[in-house]
Chains A and B, each alone.
Chain A
Amino acid sequence: MASALTVWERRRQRLRERAIEFVLLVAAASSVFVTLAIVAVLIYESLGFFSSVPITDFLFGTVWTPLFSNPQYGILPLLGGTLLSTFVALLFVAPIGLVTAVYLSEFASPRVREIIKPILELLSGVPTVVYGFFALLFMTPLLQTFIPNLPGFNILSAGIVIGIMIIPYVASLSEDAMRAVPNNLRDGSLAMGATRLETAVRVVLPAAISGVAAAFILGISRAVGETMIVAIAAGQQPNLTLDPREPAATITAYIVQVALGDLPHGSLAYQTIFAAGLVLLLLTLVFNIAGFWLRHKFREVY
């Protein structure tokens, strides 16, 4: 009982509380600090890069050949490769992810859900290097039977496999959003004579739309940052193209490729990694912020 404690004991208790609070604060702050440090390093090294290469050349140049004797530093081919593979992944994940989410949330019996959910979670635990070889050694040969002149390295195959990789993530987050829709809306719709499918598509999905959109945006942000699959299966030549059948490098693929090489520290070519990394960071940051904003908005509805 508080009243039974002496002043001294109470003071000691308060001190201990403070100490624990402080330790927790430090722990929480350290992760923020590490993130900030990474951003600081990225910005610092990028500044070095931009002091030799004009930022407009970097942003609008259409050729990326930093390792050649006549280097050019246009990020567009890498950015294009990233966006194109992401786009292919999105086209692939959108229907499958949505159908899976609708099925799991509105149709699956609890027993079926209990079987499928762990499988999905298992899939999202597969190392991406496995997906990379799956793309190179299975998906590409498979596609080549439909598309005769498809090169061994191509964006299409990598994009589809990225799509496969993010299905569990997108489907599971979308399902959470749909299950959060209160049952009285479903009852209202069913009582109007709607079928379960009509209820799912016309009431539940629209009611959960910001959460579902957030799931897709977070999925996109993972696709943008995906590295192994594209590094393995999409080829590593920077190539500004809109045709997913061609090989192309992405920002991430370039970064691994160069980081694995033996570039001298502090050289301009070395600094390109940081500039490219900064672009990648900003890109995923934008998607994540959009995703979190949407999720937040969708919570406010009910």
Chain B
Amino acid sequence: MNTHTAPTMSSATIGAAGEMLAGRPKITAKNVNVYYGEKQALFDVSVNIPEKSVTSFIGPSGCGKSTFLRCFNRMNDTIPTCRVTGDIEIDNADIYERGLDVVQLRARVGMVFQKPNPFPKSIYDNIAYGPRIHGLARSKTDLDQIVESSLKKAGLFEEVKDRLHESGTGLSGGQQQRLCIARAIAVGPEVILMDEPCSALDPIATARIEELIDHLKENFTIIIVTHSMQQAARVSQRTAFFHLGVLVEEGVTQMIFTNPRDRRTQDYITGRFG
């Protein structure tokens, strides 16, 4: 892990006692259960996600990290067999409320996927996609502005500014992933969900994304699913460990990694299973 140039957690974010003051909760989940048909994938998960910080979800494959993540933008709605019960609130408003507009929700809660999935359109049109759908730009100059600032925030502008009208699929994997981050940023979300955003990338591209995430947390609430414990340690302030559909423990990242309370967490981080 020391080959990476990404910032590790600075001691400033951790209090002397090792406990960080969690910010105002942006998202609160209470007793969330998720079922795929008859099969239950999550059991009574409750957690608070603090605002403008990075929370990572870790745990062995199949433990329900992605399932939980997809509850926050209701992407689980797109799976016909999937059923979610319990309460999830963003800024104290129930996102599973009847009649809630998922289109609006997904504009507030952006998502970045495991495999970079730029649309087979130009770089410009990739970024402009969301703003166009949500009618965010009043004019062409407005849109140009949004595209440029989104690319800048995603740290991609310098690399692509001369080829905005070339296809987004022609970029390298790491660039594609930053394009997808820029695309999500373009609609001005408050929360960004990332499902293993670096698992298809090489170490250098990974380091760049981690750097970016560290930067983005100043303006966005970020939840990242990762299989790399080093990555969780590097980028996140809080970490939640899942096992077999249960949230085993959640807390300040450094505490989880140095002093886990639960035996299962300890086994996982010391590599005894998973």
Question: Nearest A residue to B70 by beta-carbon distance?
Answer: A191
Q: Is B25 an interface residue (CB 8 A)?
A: no
Partner of B129, one of A182, A184, A192, A195: A192
- Stretch with Cβ within 8 A of A (4 or more), from B8-16, B31-39, B116-124, B201-209: B116-124
A182 and B119 CA atoms in complex are apart in Å by 10
Ordered by A's residue number, 29 sampled pairs between the chains whose C-beta atoms are within 8 Å are: A187-B78, A187-B117, A188-B113, A188-B119, A188-B180, A189-B119, A190-B75, A190-B78, A191-B75, A191-B106, A191-B110, A191-B113, A192-B106, A192-B107, A192-B110, A192-B184, A193-B102, A193-B103, A193-B107, A193-B130, A193-B133, A194-B103, A194-B133, A195-B103, A198-B133, A202-B129, A202-B133, A206-B119, A301-B169
Residue on A with the closest CB to B105?
A193
Determine if B119 and A207 form an interchain contact, defined as CB atoms under 8 angstroms apart: yes
State A176–B185 Cα separation when bound (angstroms).
Answer: 33
> What residues make up the interface of A, taking CB atoms closer than 8 Å to B?
182, 184-185, 187-195, 198, 202-203, 206-207, 301
What's the minimum C-beta distance from B173 to chain A, rounded to whole angstroms? 14
CA distance A221 to B217 in the complex (A): 56
Given A184-B117, A207-B119, is A190 in contact with B106 using a C-beta cutoff of 8 Å? yes
Q: A184, A193, A207, A301: which contacts B134 (Cβ < 8 A)?
A: A193
Q: Which residues of B lie under 8 Å from residue A301 when comparing CB positions?
A: 120, 169
Q: Are B111 and A191 in contact (CB under 8 A)?
A: yes
How far is B103's CA from A195's CA once the two chains are assembled, in angstroms?
Answer: 7
- Cα A187 to Cα B77 in complex, Å, equals 11
Docked Cα-Cα span, A202 to B134, in Å, equals 13
Q: Which residues of the other chain, B, contact A188 by a CB distance below 8 angstroms?
A: 113, 117-119, 180, 183
Closest chain-A Cβ to B147's Cβ sits at a distance in Å of 14
Across-interface contacts of B103 in A (CB, < 8 A): 193-195
B187 neighbours in A (Cβ, 8 Å): 192-193
Note all chain B residues with C-beta closer than 8 A to A189: 119, 129
Instruction: Give residues 194-228 of B contacting A (CB, 8 Å).
Output: none
| Interfacial chain A residues near B184, Cβ < 8 Å | 191-192
A185 to B116, CA, bound (A): 9
Instruction: Classify the interface of chain A: helix, strand, loop or mixed.
Output: helix
Please report B residues at the A interface, Cβ cutoff 8 Å: 73, 75, 78, 102-107, 110-111, 113, 115, 117-121, 129-130, 133-134, 169, 180, 183-184, 187
Known: A184-B113, A184-B115, A198-B133. A191 touches B120 (CB 8 A): no
Shortest distance from the beta carbon of B128 to any chain A beta carbon, whole Å? 11
When distances are taken between beta carbons in the complex, the residues of chain B under 8 Å from A203 are: 119, 129
Per the bound structure, the CA–CA distance linking A190 and B106 in Å amounts to 8
A181 CB, min distance to chain B CBs, angstroms:
9
- For B115, list chain A residues within 8 Å (CB): 184
Nearest 4 A/B pairs, CB to CB = A193-B106, A191-B111, A184-B117, A188-B117
CB-CB under 8 A from B102, the residues of chain A are 193
- Residues of chain A lying within 8 A (CB to CB) of residue B73: 191
Q: Which of A184, A187, A188 has the most CB of B within 10 A?
A: A188
Give Cα A188 to B118, complex, Å.
8
Other 6 A-B pairs with CB < 8 A, given A187-B75, A190-B75, A191-B73: A188-B113, A191-B75, A192-B184, A193-B130, A193-B133, A202-B129
> Which chain B residues lie closer than 8 Å to A202 at the CB level?
129, 133
Whole-angstrom distance between the alpha carbons of A198 and B103 in the complex? 11
Which chain B residue lies CB-closest to A184?
B117
B80, chain A: closest CB distance, angstroms: 8
Contact of B120 among A192, A193, A198, A206 (CB under 8 A): A206
User: How far does the alpha carbon of A207 sit from the alpha carbon of B104 in the complex, in Å?
Assistant: 25
Instruction: Provide the bound-state CA to CA distance between A4 and B228, in Å.
Output: 51
Q: Which B residues are in CB contact (< 8 Å) with A195?
A: 103
Looking at the assembled complex, report how far the CB atom of A111 sits from the nearest CB atom of chain B, in whole angstroms.
Answer: 12
**Distance, CA A190 to CA B107, complexed state (A):** 10
Is A206 in contact with B78, judged by CB distance below 8 angstroms?
no
Check A192–B113 contact: CB distance below 8 A: no
Closest partner residue, chain A, to B111 (CB atom) = A191
Output the nearest chain A residue to B193 by Cβ-Cβ distance. Answer: A191
Q: How far is the CA of A207 from the CA of B130 in the complex (A)?
A: 17
Count chain B CB atoms within 10 A of each CB in A189, A192, A207, A301 and give the residue with the most.
A192
Query: How far apart sit A203 and B169, CA to CA, in the bound complex (Å)?
Result: 14
* Docked pose: A133 CA to B113 CA in angstroms: 55
Chain B min CB distance to A177 (Å) = 13
Q: Which residues of A contact B104 (CB under 8 A)?
A: 193
Residue on A nearest B112 in the bound complex, by CB: A191
CB distance from B172 to the nearest CB of A (A): 17
Give Cα A207–Cα B168 distance, bound, in whole angstroms.
12
Question: Are the C-beta atoms of A185 and B133 separated by less than 8 Å?
Answer: no
Q: Which residue of A lies closest to B108 (CB)?
A: A193
Contact check, A185 vs B106: say whether CB atoms are below 8 A apart: no
Closest partner residue, chain B, to A203 (CB atom): B119
With a cutoff of 8 Å between Cβ atoms, the chain B residues found around residue A207 in the complex are 119-120
| Cα–Cα, bound, A198→B119 (Å) | 13
Minimum CB distance partner of A110 in chain B = B80
**B119: which A residues are within 8 A, CB to CB?**
185, 188-189, 203, 206-207
**Do A206 and B121 touch (CB < 8 A)?**
yes
Q: How far is the CA of A190 from the CA of B187 in the complex (A)?
A: 13
